[in-house]
């Protein structure tokens, strides 16, 4: 009897020690991983600084005459298009990631006993 209790105790502790988040992450598709990475990157200071650096470089190259003929003259229409595409792609990816996070943190339904 004590051997059986010991085995049951080991089984229960092994199940309780399982990382639920790791199990959840193993079942994600590549697009869901991509959405998580994009959301993680967008929420960082590194991304903001990178975007500011790219914007400053683009404006400098096209306004200060670094090139003989600017790639994108002053109104920066091409740069505006690139930023609009970036925002258009980032928005849905961030929402997908947030939906999955809310699903992960939602409380599990309790069984009813009657």
Q: What is the pLDDT of residue 112?
A: 67
Instruction: Give me 21's structure tokens.
Output: 């988040």
Q: Name the one residue in this structure whose structure tokens are 């991983």.
A: 33
Q: What is the pLDDT of residues 2-61, one digit of tens each?
A: 888 888 878 777 655 566 677 777 888 888 888 888 889 988 999 999 999 999 999 999
**Residues ≥6 apart with Cβ < 8 Å to 47:** 41
CA–CA separation, 96 and 79 (whole Å): 26
Which pLDDT score is estimated for 6?
84
| pLDDT confidence bin for 113, thresholds 50/70/90 | low
Quote the CA–CA distance of 36 and 25 in Å, as a whole number: 10
Q: For 62-112, what is each residue's pLDDT tens digit?
A: 999 888 999 999 899 999 999 999 999 999 999 999 998 887 777 766 666
């Amino acid at each position: 009897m004590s051997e059986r209790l010991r085995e049951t105790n080991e089984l229960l502790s092994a199940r309780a020690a399982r990382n639920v988040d790791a199990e959840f992450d193993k079942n994600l598709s590549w697009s869901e991983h991509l959405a998580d990475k994009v959301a993680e990157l967008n929420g960082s200071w590194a991304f903001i600084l990178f975007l500011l650096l790219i914007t400053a470089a683009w404006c400098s190259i096209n306004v200060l005459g670094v090139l003989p003929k600017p790639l994108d003259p002053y109104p920066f229409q091409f740069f505006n298009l690139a930023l609009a595409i970036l925002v258009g792609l980032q928005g849905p990816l961030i929402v997908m990631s947030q939906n999955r996070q809310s699903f992960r943190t939602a409380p599990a339904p309790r069984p009813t006993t009657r």
